[in-house]
A and B are shown apart, each in its own frame.
Chain A
């Protein structure tokens, strides 16, 4: 029972972080039809910046805010000065399908190299703002710590803010309309290019939050967030790639699945578990687990 509850809670906090990365990939995919592999690179840059802020000021929360802003700015820059010119130049031939993949993978490599050049390759820690020591339950100490609870809380807040933004505001309507039908959005007076860049900024901010939240329980290195990208991508596909609700459900399913398998079977099965989930979903429900009448909402 104790093991079950602790797996559940740890799975949720892990899944919460996957969800954010997954949302970030979904937002970009549905507005630009690009799987943004560079998101791990953007998040690593913002997380290193956060590391510097924590080092200099000692404030995790200041670093958290700075990371969000840096992530948003980077996302906007990548779209405006990288993807937009790319789509303008590359318009015909088989290269159209592959160019964005090459571009975002290339950018991931470049961002990692820049980070390695500035900060070196040794592991850097970011201290957690609250304890990493597990809660105790009678004589047992759970692996679930106040920090894990904080992660769940922050992600829940971020998700509520995002869903209010997307469902209740004019900006959210513009973002959804531009993603689902750029032409109708444009004819309705939405400045689609600017809105898309804003979408990349929001995605960048979500990825940055995932990056800084994932780091206190491990270490920072130029490729320490690559795993997060893989799980975020798997979660996005499990959720059907189009829906933010799907992204969250996919992230939670994956976080729980991975935690239960590693606690009850073997830690060496973490990666295979993710891919088993991915492949089963692709075979059984290629449009994602939340697909159905309302799946493309959110």
Chain B
């Protein structure tokens, strides 16, 4: 049980955004992928979920080849992707956004019980359930985006910068929730972050990307202690 990415390269036209990237994430672990603007983090995640096609390389989640199907079918294999920048549908209500996440399962009863679980995780969504998503605060929107992904009952969660643009207290809450998803639901998480410190603190392993290449990889602890990583990404 693991996510295995090997020798992955992805191009945007003439630009190579991801270049020969390999890594493994064991089931039930959090892998933090850190790197500055333009490092290729978003491109990597979009390729894993199938939104973008790979130029070379492969990615397997257990027995499933991630590149063999479109994104709408990857979600049926337990893979949920929360896109960069509070990925919710503004025109829909909170409840509709949540229902959307479970829509392919075609099981109303299961959907209702999953919704209760998600609201237990993010009680504020329960209070806002009938409101349009664009009336939510930034933090609430990010919770809704994650909640929408959880509604599909995934095993592998791909998160693209969930802390982006949020206040420190809210960031802390989001990171703690991600940690609890691993600890209580044994979810496997690929956590893309510019907030390297916060991400590495909850992660099991860490990968630093620069210009599309892996520059350092190892246990999260080893990255936190690595002087080069500290200088480049942690700022101390």
Contact = CB atoms under 8 A, between A and B. Distances in A.
Interface of A: 170, 173-174, 176-177, 180-181, 183-192, 293-294, 296-297
B72 A192 contact: yes
A187 B49 contact: yes
A186 B87 CA distance: 12
A8 to B, nearest CB: 33
A118 B8 CA distance: 57
B16 interface: no
A296 B91 contact: yes
Nearest to A170: B103
Given A170-B103, A174-B103, A183-B83, A189 B72 contact: yes
Interface of B: 49, 51, 70-73, 75-76, 80-81, 83, 87-92, 96, 99-101, 103-106, 132, 148-149, 152
B75 A189 contact: yes
A48 B70 CA distance: 40
Given A180-B89, A183-B83, A187-B80, 8 more contacts: A176-B96, A180-B91, A185-B89, A188-B75, A188-B148, A189-B73, A190-B103, A294-B132
Nearest 9 CB-CB pairings of A with B? A189-B104, A189-B75, A296-B91, A180-B91, A188-B100, A181-B89, A186-B72, A186-B71, A187-B81
Contacts of B99: 170, 173
A177 B72 contact: no
A64 B106 CA distance: 33
Contacts of A191: 72
A297 B90 CA distance: 10
A174 B152 CA distance: 15
Nearest to B103: A170
B51 A186 contact: yes
Contacts of A170: 99, 103, 106
Nearest to B106: A170
A240 to B, nearest CB: 13
B152 A189 contact: yes
Q: Which of A180, A184, A190, A296 has the most CB of B within 10 A?
A: A184
Nearest to A243: B91
Contacts of B71: 186-187
Contacts of B92: 173, 176-177, 180
Nearest to B79: A187
Contacts of B152: 188-189
Nearest to B134: A293
A187 B97 CA distance: 12
Contact of B51 (A180, A183, A293, A297): A183
